[in-house]
Amino acid sequence: MSETKPTGKRRLLTERRLRNVGLVLVGVVTLVAFAVSSAALGFLWYADSRVNRIPEDQTPDIVDVPEDPLDPINVLILGSDTREGLEEEEEQFGSPEMVEGERSDTIILGHFDPQEERAVLVHFPRDLRVEIPGHGEDKINAAFTLGGPNLAIKTVSRLTGIPIHHYIEVNFNSFRTIVAALGGVEVCIDRPMIDPMAELELPEAGCYQMDGDTALAFVRARNVEGDLIPDFARISRQQQFIRAVTNKLFSLGSVTRIPELVRAVAGSVRTDHALTVTDLLDYGRELQGLAAEDPTGASTVDLRIVPGLAGPSFVEMTPEAEALFRRLREDRPLGDLGTAPPGEVPPSPAQIAVKVVGAGRAAVAARAEDLLRDAGFIVLPGDRRPPREASEIVHAAGAEAMAQVVAGYFPDLTLRQGGRALLGEADVAVVLGEDAP
């Protein structure tokens, strides 16, 4: 297990017409931050005064929030690549005059359930074939381009049968801002990742302290060598990054950064007319205690993707997609629906629960767990039983693909199937024996 941590190169994003698919993650991070703590109340009120709200008559399909505070709230989160508000960065990203219009290639439905104490974030593939009201069949990301926020709201609501209570949109510069406010985000990868189109250059496997530009390139990249289905591979990386960020936010030391996070994003989000910081606090308080009760964040943030099969031009929904929507509507357990990408695309680390077992030295176990957290895995509490002779990776029945993803970070370890006596609730266990360095 190498401790080498190559420095991530800071890259300027000069490709002016590349669509910004990662900016929506700042909306997710902001909501998670609100859910973790309400200590920054004064800053939240400050943020509320700076939020750019969409007039009520421009989002008529937003529905009133339920009166019962324990009822779920559904939030549509989109990223916009509009250049409005950019001044010093115009040479880097292009001005509003140079790049006209708005596009959204990343669409996430957030389902926040205070009673079940969870937040489900469902990614929609940008090429998903849907019926856009008034426009016929098209890719789902065309809804925002054709009719702005309300048509996107209407399209997602009709597709899923789920009412949309709030809308959050983030601008071009927000993602870099939130990463800077976090002090950068360390992300570990299991292979080189280079995409000239996105200006991503991570030349070797290892851990990178990503600044805003590098992180933005990481979540936007869709031409990385080795990606089997680029859009699904990109969603996998986005989920990996979200999990790495939530792992950081759920750590005790990062809670103190929440006021800075609020200040950083205050002027860059656009919301429906009714969304206030008080609303965020109301259901955020229901989740905040989970940071202490569940330091993994596994039960707090559940990442899913709409099940579909990629074709030449469209992603076609499978029957499992309707099953996922139905269970969300009925607040039933989701099972494995939406956890696995299609075909041969490996599962995202964000979907894999891992624990470290049998470390003879606490420092060895801590180093392995830190690596897994920074790689975006769900890291369950470890098992400090006496070490075995040899290190290995043990996986549950049917979790071979997950074990292969974990093995990318521990390439010298062999894989075998094991039972729940060793694994507990984990999909995969990294067993560190007496030979662990």
Structure tokens at 92: 């880097």
Is 416 strand, coil or helix? strand
Question: What does 278-331 look like in DSSP terms, one character per residue?
Answer: HHHHHHHHHHHTHHHH-TT-TTTEEEEE--EEE-SS-EEEPHHHHHHHHHHHTT
Is 262:40 a contact under the CB 8 Å cutoff?
A: yes
Q: Are strands 200-202 and 193-195 parallel, antiparallel or unpaired?
A: antiparallel
Q: Nearest 10 degrees: CA dihedral of 425, 349, 321, 18?
A: 160
Q: What share of the chain is helix, strand, coil (3-state, %, to 5)?
A: 35, 20, 45
Query: Per-10-residue mean pLDDT for the chain, 437 residues long?
Result: 39 31 52 48 61 87 87 86 48 42 77 80 93 96 93 97 90 75 89 92 95 89 86 90 82 56 65 70 46 52 91 92 96 90 86 86 86 93 78 94 95 94 93 83
The whole-angstrom separation of Cα 434 and Cα 391 is 7
Residues in the chain: 437
Is 227:211 a contact under the CB 8 Å cutoff?
A: no
Tell me how far apart the terminal alpha carbons of the chain are, to the nearest angstrom.
7
pLDDT value at residue 103: 64
Extract the runs of DSSP E, i.e. beta strands, from 203-294. Answer: 206-210, 269-271
Q: Within its chain, how far is the Cα of 114 from the centroid?
A: 20
Structure tokens at 49: 């005064």
194 DSSP β-pair partners: 201
Q: Nearest 10 degrees: CA dihedral of 66, 332, 236, 152?
A: -40
The whole-angstrom separation of Cα 225 and Cα 11 is 19
pLDDT value at residue 6: 45
Structure tokens at 269: 């989000």
Q: Model-level pTM?
A: 0.82
Structure tokens at 44: 């939240």
pLDDT value at residue 259: 56
Is 76 strand, coil or helix? strand
The whole-angstrom separation of Cα 283 and Cα 106 is 24
pLDDT value at residue 10: 30
